[in-house]
């Protein structure tokens, strides 16, 4: 069980770490209302020996495309990835906070924070953002993927908007395009077998097909005609980037099948 870092007090009696806050709804900069930039669809699927995380590159604000090279799959430590959807600014603050907390715990306690402790820290920062999220700014939903060195198994966790966590046996998805493809995950499992029995190559192909379908059905999700998606894997060897060359080869094979 991870130590609750909020119970570690400095000599002045204040918490060493406070979950990052977000500007109050309606706040403005130089008289202009804040624009909350959002990342959209992210997907995590297991394969035989690890987890693949895939995200499109589009970031939107209202109905505008703000950026088309956004990174939505971010490492928290050597064996943990956070795939983000929703408020990009809030997500970046949370990632910086969690990296600091995990590293501080490891250095002060001379051991890594437990998996349950990491999951609890993430739940706390999601819950801390609920008041702003309820008013339409600062909400985000992550997928937490890791390789559990204690059990030797890849694991995927997802959260609701209030911070409740759930573990998936096969896959996870978040973002505006996830609703349109949710049933396709189950179709793949029932027709092609569980993701955790697939090879890395097969699981990557299925994840990219799902992302392509989401881009077709959701205007906020970017496809790959302009920029390739971002993909990372976690296994017993740690986190590895899927190369652009490999992504291009898989994307081209999918396009040939569709053509």
Q: What string of DSSP letters covers the chain?
A: ----GGG-B-TTS-BS--PPP-PPTT-EETTEEP---EE--EEEEEETTEEEEEE---EEETTEEEES----EEEEETTEEEEEEEEHHHHHHHHHHHHHHHHHHHHHHSSPPPHHHHHHHHHHHHHHTHHHHHTTSS-EEEEEEEEETTTTEEEEEEE-TTS-EEEESSEEEESTTHHHHHHHHHHHHHHH--GGGS-HHHHHHHHHHHHHHHHHH-TTS--SSSSPPEEEEEETTEEEEPPHHHHHHHHHHHHHHH-
Exactly one of 18, 35, 37, 40 is catalytic; name it.
40
> Could you confirm whether 151 is annotated as catalytic?
no
Active-site residues, by number, are 40
């Amino acid at each position: 069980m991870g130590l609750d870092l909020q119970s570690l007090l400095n000599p002045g009696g204040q918490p060493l770490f406070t979950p990052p806050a977000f500007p109050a709804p309606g706040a403005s900069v130089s008289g202009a209302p804040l624009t909350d930039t959002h990342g959209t669809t992210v997907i995590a699927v297991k394969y035989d020996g690890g987890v693949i995380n895939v995200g499109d590159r589009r970031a939107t604000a209202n109905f505008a495309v703000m950026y088309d090279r956004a990174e939505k799959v971010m490492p928290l430590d050597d064996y943990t990835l956070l795939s983000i959807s929703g408020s990009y600014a809030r997500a970046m603050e949370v990632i910086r906070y969690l990296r600091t907390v995990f590293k501080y715990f490891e250095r002060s306690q001379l051991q890594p924070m437990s998996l349950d402790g990491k999951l609890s820290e993430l739940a706390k920062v999601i819950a801390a953002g609920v008041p702003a999220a309820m008013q339409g700014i600062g909400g985000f939903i992550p997928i937490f993927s890791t390789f559990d060195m204690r059990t030797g198994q890849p694991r995927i966790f997802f959260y609701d908007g209030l911070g409740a966590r759930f573990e998936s046996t096969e896959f996870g998805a978040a973002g505006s395009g996830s609703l349109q493809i949710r049933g396709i995950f189950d179709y793949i499992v029932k027709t092609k077998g569980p993701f955790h029995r697939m090879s890395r190559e097969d699981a990557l192909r299925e994840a990219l097909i799902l992302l392509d379908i989401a881009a077709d059905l959701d205007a906020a999700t970017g496809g790959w005609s302009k920029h390739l998606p971002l993909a990372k894997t976690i296994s017993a060897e740690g986190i590895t980037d899927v190369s652009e060359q490999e992504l291009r080869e898989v994307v081209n094979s999918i396009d040939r099948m569709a053509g």
